[in-house]
Amino acid sequence: MKGEQWQRVEQLYHAALEREGNQRAGFLAQACGEDEVLLRNVERLLKAHAEAGEFLAAPALEVAIRSTVAEGGLPLTGQTISHFEILSLLGAGGMGEVYLARDRRLDRTVALKMLPPLVAQDPDRIQRFVLEAKAASALNHPNVATIYDIGHADGRSFIAMEYVEGETLSAKMGPPFDVARIVAIGMQAADALSEAHAKGITHRDIKPGNIMLTPRGQVKVLDFGLAKVKRGEESALNADTITLTDTVPGLVLGTLKYMSPEQLLGHTVDHRTDIFSLGAVLYEMATGRPPFAGTSATDTIGRILHVDPESIGQINPEVAELQRIVHRCLEKDPERRYPTARELMADLQNLQDGALPLYGNSKRRALALIAATVLVLGIAGTLLLAPTPPATGPAIESVAVLPFVSVEANPEVEYLADGITENIINNLSQLSQLRVMSRSSVFRFKGRHTETDRIGRELNVQALLTGRVSLHEQQIAISLELIDVSDSHQLWGEQYNRNLADLQSLQTEISRQVSDKLRVRLSGPEQRQLASRRIANDEAYQFYLKARFFQNQLTEEGFRKALEYFQAAVDKDPNYALAYTGLANVYSSLGIEYVAPRDYMPKAKAAALKAVELNQQLPEAHAALGIVYLVYDWDWNAAAKELQQNLLLSPQSVETFSCSLHFTDVLDRNKDAITSLQRALVSDPFSLPTNLELGCASYFGQQYDESLRRLREARTLYPGHPGISYLIGRAYGQKKMYREAIATLSEAKPLSGDWPPIAAELGYAYGASGRKVEAQRMLDELHVQSTHRYVDPYLVAMIHWSMGDKEKMFVELENAYARRSSWLPWLKAEPKWAALHSEPRFIDLMRRVGL
């Protein structure tokens, strides 16, 4: 097309965009007159704008026209470019038209992508064209079209690539796909993106038109014309190509309906923009419509930036199981999306494989539980469900019990509200056919005013139970509402007004009605398990609830207050097994972190043994005893036995306190831990303990990048948590990223109340980076702390080791052994000590610990 005609097309296109319907048609007919070629080209631009939602600014106008029009409006069919004979036009993309051609040299059919002469003089366009070829040629993957050649002939630049028979996904769009097909396509596309991202390549234009489906169902990702290559990936592409990838600030590239918010705003993008776009494609396959399509480009932009798409399950209930996966892809904040395409693919694989059990055979179940458990938080259980028939209709398979709200600003009511919430979570978790979100996942919403339907979508559950609690003298009032997430209608609601002394029986009644409305029933063993939770003395139960309230604060002060209330509970009711379990857990927490283990761990063991003696069917009692065997007695077999029993009695309610104690690392079973934790996250992705455990498991497995990804994701869920920052700083230290480690740990240290492990990890980072003055300052600080609080010698040994003082290190490790340090079971797993594994004194220490 000649320059003057091109300018005329551009002018008419912009003028036509300002008109609607018949007014636009009349305007064009009058403006173009007899020039049918001009009219046809403007109409093509308008159609491309309406269907693809592309920003057709001046540089992109010609791209849309050349989909069927070449130089002077003449097709290239029958011509020969270099040694390629053009057979037919296949289509067009953002960077050129694509022809079917025959390679005369090798006698094979290829797809030939052409850059027309009109833009061949544009250096940026040529550079981007070359980039596409280099980006795609760096990928050797069955789901990426293979690049054969790149060249320039007869004034035209071209890329010769594998010809893929089939149709684009856009041609297949229409009625929703079934789950199996969506998952199959999504897995292959995610696999291709994972390969590209590993090479530092971000596609930036994932859409149905760039996903080809072969007749045999194979996916091919096409068109890397907008690809962005990460600086420093010289191994994948030549360094001179990398400089070509920086986009002009504010320039928007991509296809509107599938753009991520950050891409749309012209911000810096990374591989997570592709995950968002693929999520939009999955959504469209599942529902038959794009997630953010508006009535205009402006409306679409607003939806992408500010509006969550309608639930997949509401549009097409047949594919509701995809909701959690797609919703996570489409998060506005990149930090809340899948951190990698590989993890997206893993979730799709799990869905394809069906509902996977959390653990396998009994031996693996014991190891997996221990991997995910440090202190199972004892939850009061008073439910004895009568075998009433469930309500009619399909059973609800997933539920979240949101933190009950205290109507009055009264601490006495708050502990009751939290306690009742925990009880119901624990009781419902006994139902093997019901997925119940963990305490840590739902308590993130405590005090937040968030729409229930949004919470339901985020947690990927079918129902929410909400409650309001008020207390007037000795009368307690509880208002409950069970909500169907799919359409926010109330499934059931009830108001209870009882004497506070009747709280335990009231919770039994509530649990019975909720389970009935959820349309699930307990099996015989489940009923017997719940029956084992005896009703306690009413006053003892009040003490127990207060103890749990303070225990959940996870601070030294909170633990000490909890200790007082648990002791008061057993004083009032000497046969109250749950209260003994609480005592054991608090003694362990204090003995692990705040006082010398020899002072409190024997007390923890005595309380746990008493709880098991009183109630062999209480899972929390076995877990509490198993923790003592693990971190204090160093008796791996006894720990495995007790923690296995906990899992057998309560397979659905695994809730951990910390991630620093990792049984499978002690036994060199790190891969087992990671596999089990990944499966656990499928059903409860927002569980803080499980996320932290997985970050730790990856760290002990020396997968530091994976550990950092997991922990950063946990930090987005729980911002400001100093324990997460401690673990992130620890992983940075092992990657020798000492500047990042020091910055992270320095920020977390005051937030933690100068928690000794953070000071020790900070001292280690200083020493390992050669900053011995600062490392010595951390040693001095720990010495001062040791005059008024317990500082484990193991932590001091870490800093001496980083400073190269092996003799002082061994002195402190021997002190740690003498004091039964709870850190020593991980002596072999901790990567800091790897260089000492051939040292005789270190080998002897590991032997004495039982490693």
Confidence of residue 626 (pLDDT cuts 50, 70, 90): confident
Whether residue 605 contacts residue 563, with contact meaning beta carbons closer than 8 Å, is answered with no
Number of Cβ within 10 Å of residue 234's Cβ equals 13
Name the CATH topology of 720-849.
Answer: 1.25.40
**Confidence (pLDDT) at 603:** 95
SS (H, E, C) 201-261: EECCCCCHHHEEECCCCCEEECCCCCCEECCCCCCCCCHHHHCCCCCCCCCCCCCHHHCCH
3-state class (DSSP) for residue 467: strand
Opening angle at CA 725, ends 558 and 437, nearest 5: 65
Give the tens place of pLDDT for each residue, 408-467.
Answer: 767 777 888 888 888 788 777 767 677 888 777 788 788 776 677 778 888 888 888 888
Stretch among 233-247, 348-362, 578-592 having the lowest mean pLDDT: 233-247
Cα–Cα distance measured from residue 86 to residue 74, given in angstroms and rounded to the nearest whole number = 13
- Spell out a b/e string for 385-419, using b for 16 or more CB atoms within 10 Å of the CB, else e: beeeeeeeeeebbbbbbbbbbbeeeeeebbbbbbb
**DSSP strand pairing (80-81 vs 84-93):** antiparallel
> Is it the case that residue 752 has pLDDT exceeding 60?
yes
For 96, the enclosing helix (H) or strand (E) is strand 96-103
Stretch among 515-524, 558-567, 607-616, 839-848 having the lowest mean pLDDT: 515-524
567 burial level (CB within 10 Å; 0-12, 13-18, 19+): middle
Whether residue 358 contacts residue 494, with contact meaning beta carbons closer than 8 Å, is answered with no
Residue tagged 């590993």 (tokens): 198
- Cα dist. 118→69, 126, 638, 815 in Å? 12, 11, 77, 78
CATH superfamily, domain 75-162, is: Phosphorylase Kinase; domain 1 (3.30.200.20)
Cα–Cα distance measured from residue 99 to residue 82, given in angstroms and rounded to the nearest whole number = 14
Which token pair is 672?
């087992």
Note the helical H segments in 396-552.
411-428, 439-442, 452-459, 503-517, 524-531, 538-551
Q: Which residue has the higher pLDDT, 339 or 445?
A: 339
Cα–Cα distance measured from residue 103 to residue 815, given in angstroms and rounded to the nearest whole number = 76
> Is it the case that residue 550 has pLDDT exceeding 50?
yes
* Range list for CATH 1.25.40 in the chain: 720-849
The interaxial angle of helices 756-768 and 738-751, nearest 10 deg, is 160
Give the tens place of pLDDT for each residue, 272-319.
Answer: 999 999 999 999 999 999 999 877 777 788 788 888 888 887 788 888
Stretch among 524-538, 617-631, 676-690, 722-736 having the lowest mean pLDDT: 524-538
Who contacts 178 (Cβ-Cβ below 8 Å, separation ≥6)? Answer: 318, 319
**Confidence (pLDDT) at 766:** 95
Whether residue 335 contacts residue 716, with contact meaning beta carbons closer than 8 Å, is answered with yes
Cα–Cα distance measured from residue 372 to residue 679, given in angstroms and rounded to the nearest whole number = 11
- Nearest Cα residue to 522 out of 532, 514, 530: 530
Stretch among 55-59, 247-251, 839-843 having the lowest mean pLDDT: 247-251
Which token pair is 383?
């439910």
Give the tens place of pLDDT for each residue, 22-38.
Answer: 677 777 877 787 777 77
Q: In the predicted model, what is the mean pLDDT of the chain?
A: 77
Written as one letter, the residue type at 243 is T
User: In the chain, what percentage of residues exceed pLDDT 70?
Assistant: 74
Who contacts 414 (Cβ-Cβ below 8 Å, separation ≥6)? Answer: 406, 549
Cα–Cα distance measured from residue 207 to residue 221, given in angstroms and rounded to the nearest whole number = 10
Cα–Cα distance measured from residue 790 to residue 597, given in angstroms and rounded to the nearest whole number = 9
Cα–Cα distance measured from residue 283 to residue 258, given in angstroms and rounded to the nearest whole number = 10
Cα–Cα distance measured from residue 284 to residue 292, given in angstroms and rounded to the nearest whole number = 10
Cα–Cα distance measured from residue 135 to residue 228, given in angstroms and rounded to the nearest whole number = 9
> Is it the case that residue 123 has pLDDT exceeding 90?
no
Among 320-329, 537-546, 570-579, 704-713, the range with the most confident prediction by mean pLDDT is 570-579
3-state class (DSSP) for residue 280: helix
> Is it the case that residue 391 has pLDDT exceeding 50?
no
* Range list for CATH 3.30.200.20 in the chain: 75-162
**Confidence (pLDDT) at 326:** 93
Task: Catalogue the active-site residues.
Answer: 205
Give the tens place of pLDDT for each residue, 30-78.
Answer: 778 777 777 777 776 776 566 444 444 444 455 444 443 443 344 566 7
Written as one letter, the residue type at 388 is T
**Quick one: CATH architecture of 167-353?**
Orthogonal Bundle (1.10)
Rg, Å, the chain Cα set = 32
For 93, the enclosing helix (H) or strand (E) is strand 84-93
* Range list for CATH 1.10.510.10 in the chain: 167-353
Which token pair is 26?
């009349």
**Confidence (pLDDT) at 247:** 34
Whether residue 276 contacts residue 202, with contact meaning beta carbons closer than 8 Å, is answered with no
Cα–Cα distance measured from residue 577 to residue 607, given in angstroms and rounded to the nearest whole number = 9
